[in-house]
Amino acid sequence: MAMILPFQALKLVLILLSIGKVASSASFTLRSQCTYTVWSGTLSGNGPVLGGGGSELPPGSSIRLTAPSGWSGRFWGRTGCSFNRTTGAGNCSTGDCGGLKCTGGGVPPVTLVEFTLAASPADKDFYDVSLVDGYNIGMGVRPTGGTGDCQEAGCREGLNRRCPPELRVVDSATGKVVGCKSACLAFGRPEFCCTGDHSTPQTCTPSNYSAIFKAACPTAYSYPYDDATSICTCSGTDYVITFCPTN
């Protein structure tokens, strides 16, 4: 038997819907433009783990995930993966998270797309593409509609070719550069990691290494305090996250 709302309750629901005060979810479409299979990785900071933690994305494929309001987390790509189809056990050359379905973050160096969704329609979503943990493959994020600045952000394929020798991660089997470490990951020094005496925006400034990342990917975080040109905001939108964006 269908439930019939009392008139006043029904009126309140209609009013809330009309003025946009009912919190809504956001969807993420993950699509691959890579010429090779990439496996997505997902980690939740607040809210459910989306897509079980990760999925296989052959060239040209896509998946759609939905997150509730207030959700926060990150997405990344994994490459060179080999998994047991029954158990999900296995590992990846880059972005490894311990199995097909991630239970933790990706092993750096890894390109990240990070989100904090609005808790209410009056708030904004915050999102960015981060190279603070280094780079493995190109990634981009694009809002679809929405209000506010709603800009695209990303880092396209190719940073591995520009990576200084001392930051390179080389696949031992192929001899190819498969990742580019951040200076913090490579050297662990406070001035690169923004720790210790360098833990404030005033004492932790761009380095020659972060400048290489910023020149290649102007809309991505190149070091921890790279906020001014790297944080994006938007309201009331869904997002397309592209692995290996080409345009």
Task: Look up residue 95 and give its DSSP letter.
Answer: S
How many angstroms separate the CA atoms of 246 and 60, rounded?
12
Q: Per DSSP, what are the bridge partners of residue 41?
A: 54, 76
How many angstroms separate the CA atoms of 98 and 198, rounded?
32
Helix (H) or strand (E) holding 105: none
Calculate mean pLDDT across residues 56-65: 97
How many angstroms separate the CA atoms of 139 and 143, rounded?
14
How many angstroms separate the CA atoms of 37 and 58, rounded?
4
- Average pLDDT score over the chain: 89
Indicate if the pLDDT at residue 46 is higher than 80.
yes
CA distances from 60 to 32, 35, 78, 166, 226 (A): 5, 8, 16, 33, 32
SS3 content of the chain, % helix, strand, coil (to 5): 20, 30, 50
How many angstroms separate the CA atoms of 226 and 220, rounded?
8
Indicate if the pLDDT at residue 71 is higher than 90.
yes
Question: Residue 18 is encoded by which pair of tokens?
Answer: 């009309």
Task: Look up residue 73 and give its DSSP letter.
Answer: E
What is the per-residue pLDDT for 85? 83
Indicate if the pLDDT at residue 24 is higher than 90.
no
- Where exactly are the structural domains of the chain? 25-243
The pLDDT tens digits for 119-132 are 988 899 999 999 99
pLDDT class for 20, splitting at 50, 70, 90?
Answer: very low
Top-level class of domain 25-243: mainly beta
- Asked if residues 159 and 143 have their Cβ atoms less than 8 Å apart, the reply is no
- The model carries a pTM of 0.88
What is the per-residue pLDDT for 28? 98
What is the per-residue pLDDT for 82? 94
The pLDDT tens digits for 130-178 are 999 999 999 999 999 899 999 999 998 689 999 999 999 999 888 999 9
Calculate mean pLDDT across residues 190-199: 96
How many angstroms separate the CA atoms of 109 and 18, rounded?
46
What is the per-residue pLDDT for 121? 83
What is the per-residue pLDDT for 247? 52
Indicate if the pLDDT at residue 95 is higher than 70.
yes
